[in-house]
Structure 1
Amino acid sequence: MKSFAPFHFENNLTAEQRLFFQQHGIIQFKNFVEKETVAVFLREIQNVQHVLLSQDIKKVNGIPLKFGFDETGRTLIQRLAFTSHYSNILSEFLKDPRFQLLLELLGPYDGRIGENEKDGLVVNHYVNSPFSQFKQLGWHTDSPRDLFMGSRIQPMLNVGLHLDDCPVENGGLRVLAGTHTQGLMGLFFRKKYFVDNAADPAEVGFNIEAGDLTIHDGRLWHRVQQSPVVGAKSRRRVMYIPFITGAYQPKNADSPTPFYHKLAGLKQKRDAAQAERSEKFALKNLNWSRLLG
């Protein structure tokens, strides 16, 4: 599988980095934060999850949370939205001056960090376990969400801070480099959104270490490959920071749930029911095995 050599961000974007991003629609920066900082962020995320679970919060500012179970059967939130609203440390991180420099990748458009817009600071928690609701993610782009919100597609970047090591052989991010320059036909019909999980001969993978930063154009086709291992070693946690353009549209507790999230919620309920049936089937077989033992 093809992969790209990562860059290092030295407090400014070089001409080489700009050209690379313009050509491929994605770029990786090594060691954007130190391992000690990653550990702090993971503790903060755990604290936020504890607050949300203890208060039985199912959605934040109209955005549903995605629930699942880890390899030990404990409930976890596999997709957090507006995470920085519950953590001063994470909110302060979004003010890191380096992000203002990276916003230049949106040029010639004026960009901003959408802490209070879209889904805010999102944390995705992938783990390959029998009852996880987030093992992989099918091919998609991020752009059509604007259409569901009643506006035209706006330039945006998804900036991911990776919180776990994820070598390419352990699954993780896959992209079709250069597809951010495609026309509308390619944007909408190159793949079946979220349904198609198949590997593409042209896809690019990444060797990720905790603390790395990836930035991809919202029009770029990408997916998340399921880890071939099961349990804790499959864990992949990423904080996604939205770099957005267009009119300022903050959300609050009264904001409606976007239609595409409602569709995703129906799928999650169906998958949860299927997992429950699988669990009952497995327990039944285990009991029979003991009886026949």
Structure 2
Amino acid sequence: MVKFENKTFTLGEKLTDEQKEYFRKYGIIQFKNFINQDTIKLFISELQKIEKQWLDEGVEKINGIPLKFGKNENGDKMIQRMCFTNKYSKVLGELVKDPRLQLLIELLAPYDGRISENEKDGLVFNHYINAQNSKFSQMGWHTDSPRDLFLGQKILPMLNVGIHLDDCPMSNGGLRVLPGTQNQSVLKLLFGKKQFIDHTPDAREVGFDINAGDLTVHDGRLWHRVEVSPNFGEASRRRVMYVPIITGKYMPKDSNSKTPFYHRFAKVVQK
């Protein structure tokens, strides 16, 4: 384990050598103020429109990927994990084409990468809330790599880019990582912890003070989890959009795509 230096950066017209070296060392980086408050409100409005449409129409899957449902603090049905949202909103479709996101591909060097607009789960929206009937308030330790094995592929480098829509200080739960573990052996990557099942805090983990509008990037091989908020209801709400930057063969999904095998374990791992 490397000794972690918790720093934040600004994403400009190009990545700096310091930013690239920081990411190579720790496997994660945080950029402040990627989007402003007006843009946050616009994105939330777009996501609410998509959610209402899907609830009204009884949609359960998008391109073979199951949606995750729960209930909010008022007991109303909500969608807590939405995928391919970029395909249902012009505004969100433009987000994944933002030139600043394209810059992040350099963090995969020497591999060539691409924004996953039509592959994996597209632009995902995770809506965490700690409420009585919520199905999505935390996420256990995991790496993003086993999915490749389930799909019959070798483990390939990838990045997960998070756009945060709510303030989330470390005291309110949220993202936890084991810095530097992106450089671990394949055995440790797969079996270092019980994927998704283990929620136990680790003495080596670090958390982050994240503000609405911040952007985080983590290596898919990094051990990470989402800690449950100690608060309840509105005070616990954390909304994050994720889009992967991937490598390897182009594998787009559409309405005829089959549900990946690993989703059969969704009720067990709450993924």
The interval holding the TM-score normalised by the smaller chain is over 0.9
AA paired with 2:51? Q
Instruction: Confirm or deny: 8 A CA contact 1:3 1:206 kept in the other structure.
Output: no
Aligned residue in 2 for 1:187: 189
Residue 24 (structure 1) aligned with residue 26 (structure 2): yes
Aligned residue in 2 for 1:82: 84
Relative distance call for 1:3 and 1:260 in structure 2 (3 A) is: farther
Aligned residue in 1 for 2:169: 167
Quick one: which of 230, 233, 236 aligns to 1:234? Answer: 236
Instruction: Confirm or deny: 8 A CA contact 1:58 1:64 kept in the other structure.
Output: yes
Q: 1:206 deviation in Å?
A: 0.3
AA paired with 1:28? Q
Find the residue that maps to 2:203 and give its secondary structure.
coil
Aligned residue in 1 for 2:215: 213
Aligned residue in 1 for 2:253: 251
Runs of at least 5 residues in structure 2 that lack an aligned partner in the other structure: none
Distance 1:10 1:251 in 2: 32
Q: 1:133 deviation in Å?
A: 0.2
Find the residue that maps to 2:167 and give its secondary structure.
coil
Relative distance call for 1:3 and 1:77 in structure 2 (3 A) is: farther
AA paired with 1:215? V
**The structure with more helix, counted as a fraction of residues:** 1
Instruction: Confirm or deny: 8 A CA contact 1:142 1:218 kept in the other structure.
Output: yes
Aligned residue in 1 for 2:38: 36
Aligned residue in 2 for 1:106: 108
Distance 2:191 2:269 in 1: 21
CA deviations on 1:248-267 (whole Å, 9 max, x unpaired) are: 00001111111111210466
Give the alignment of 1:53-132 within 5 angstroms: 53-132=55-134
The TM-score, its normalising length taken from structure 1, stands at 0.89
Moved over 3 A (4+): 265-268
Q: 1:3 deviation in Å?
A: 7.0
CA deviations on 1:194-237 (whole Å, 9 max, x unpaired) are: 11101100101000000000000000000000000100110001
AA paired with 1:115? E
The TM-score, its normalising length taken from structure 2, stands at 0.96
Instruction: Confirm or deny: 8 A CA contact 2:196 2:269 kept in the other structure.
Output: no
Find the residue that maps to 1:264 and give its secondary structure.
helix
Distance 2:37 2:108 in 1: 28
Instruction: Confirm or deny: 8 A CA contact 1:3 1:204 kept in the other structure.
Output: no
Instruction: Confirm or deny: 8 A CA contact 1:3 1:205 kept in the other structure.
Output: no
Aligned residue in 2 for 1:146: 148
Q: 1:166 deviation in Å?
A: 0.2
Aligned length: 267
AA paired with 1:76? M
CA deviations on 1:160-215 (whole Å, 9 max, x unpaired) are: 00000000000000000000000011101111111110110010100000000000
Percent identity at matched positions? Answer: 58
CA deviations on 1:23-82 (whole Å, 9 max, x unpaired) are: 000000000111110110000000010111111000000000000001111111000011
Instruction: Confirm or deny: 8 A CA contact 2:12 2:100 kept in the other structure.
Output: no
Aligned residue in 2 for 1:277: none
Aligned residue in 2 for 1:290: none
Aligned residue in 2 for 1:280: none
Find the residue that maps to 2:240 and give its secondary structure.
strand
Distance 2:163 2:250 in 1: 24
Relative distance call for 1:267 and 1:112 in structure 2 (3 A) is: closer
